[in-house]
Amino acid sequence: MSKRVVVTGIGLISPVGNDTSASWKSFCEGRSGIGTITKFDASDQDVRIAGEIKGFDPLLYMDRKEVRRNDPFVHYALGATKQALADAELSITEENQDDVGVIIGSGIGGLTACHEQFKVLFDRGPDRVSPFFITQFITDIAAGYVSMQVGARGPNFATVSACATSANAIGEAAEMIRRGDAIAMIAGGAECGITPMGVASFAVMRALSRRNDDPEHASRPFDAERDGFVIAEGAGILILEEEEYARKRGARIYAELAGYASTADAYHVTEPAPEGAGLARAMKRAMTKAEVSPEQVEYINAHGTSTVFNDRNETAAIKNIFGDHAKHLAISSTKSMIGHTLGAAGGIEAGVTVLSLLHNVLTPTINYAHPDPECDLDYVPNEAREAKVNVALSNSMGFGGHNAVIVFKRYNG
């Protein structure tokens, strides 16, 4: 019999808060974290808005030398991890360190370091490139660095599946616990892609909103006037534990991670499959593994990017799987408030989903003003809603046709 997996800690760093409590408060208030780009001079860019982290101090989590040696996406990963471990009151010791693992992904990795060091190469020559560049840039370094800092010696690797990255990380971490490869896992994702190249490359794809003069209203998932996503940065980390181990050590259990599934569209490099067929299969498989029927699901934290194709196809997928029950589901998009954190999105949204079950509050989809006939479900528009939810889904989709769905249940010991 497979082991039960529970969530005992959450760490969030987002454009609306540098820790979990601040982020959650902002989400419940429907605050926007989108603004004009300040990380670099974006005056020559077609898109000049983003969801930036504000006032984050990496020295709270690592010393000055380590800050210099690591890309900001690693700063965020370690910060969210230390928050989550403290929240879970989980100490990694000689007794358990071989059985605690780390899976932290990133969609892009060290793009800030890449930008800086290519500039050094072209301006000053190859001999001036930092000897730390490779370990700043490679995507797996967040998982590796976190394990070194906290002493976790169990399974350790990174997932990379674009915007499904950290949902895959969390799901695969849960599978490791189920099969007995670990008693606890640190899992999620981190991203810091707001650089000149990061913004320009998504902009020329016509993927980004161009509401430069109204940034707070630019991310508007499921709204008829949506015109693209808003690039953002951040980190979301969950502490997952085998239920018996968590209970034995007296941990506070937030929710059960009851099911997970991952599928491929095998259709197009950026556009979701028609009618969201791949996501639909992932939702169906995840619910089957969680042993819940579609009628038992009450809330979905949607991928909800604010792009025309994503929101339309995700809505179609939900209708396909849930049938008439789709009209009774509450659905919301965290991205309406913080933008799209790419490889960190699934981790942040999984954390928000768990907090919704814990606090009986569904966070809103803000900026919803113009109903779209093709997106006609209940998107918890503009204001948070009190609701006791027992079963919830967190949906993620990524360029390359990746889909990942996690099912959370209210924990009943």
Q: What are phi and psi of 408, to 5 degrees?
A: -110, 140
Q: Is 163 a catalytic residue?
A: yes
Q: Is 375 a catalytic residue?
A: no
Active-site residue, from 28, 114, 192, 303: 303
Q: Name the residue with tokens 């997952």.
A: 240
Q: Is 28 a catalytic residue?
A: no
Q: Which tokens go with 159?
A: 């997932």
Which residues are CB-neighbours of 11 under 8 A, at least 6 positions away?
19, 20, 79, 80, 81, 82, 83, 84, 85, 87, 188, 235, 236, 237, 238, 351
Q: Which tokens go with 379?
A: 């998107």
Beta-carbon neighbour count of residue 63 at 10 Å?
10
Output DSSP code: residue 162: T
Which residues are CB-neighbours of 253 under 8 A, at least 6 positions away?
6, 7, 8, 243, 246, 247, 411, 413
Q: Which amino acid is at 2?
A: S
Q: What are phi and psi of 262, to 5 degrees?
A: -135, 135
Q: Which tokens go with 370?
A: 């113009």
Sequence-ordered alpha helix ranges (H) in 192-307: 196-204, 243-248, 277-290
Q: What are phi and psi of 219, to 5 degrees?
A: -90, 110
d(CA 272, CA 384): 28
Buried b (16+ CB within 10 A) or exposed e, 135-161: bbbbbbbbbbbbbebbebbbbbebbbb
- For 94-145, the DSSP string reads TTTGGGEEEEEE-SS-SHHHHHHHHHHHHHH-GGGS-TTHHHHH-TTHHHHH
Output DSSP code: residue 180: T
Q: Which tokens go with 257?
A: 């991670």
Active-site residue, from 28, 192, 340, 375: 340
d(CA 71, CA 149): 15
Active-site residue, from 28, 114, 163, 192: 163
The residues assigned a catalytic role are 163, 303, 340
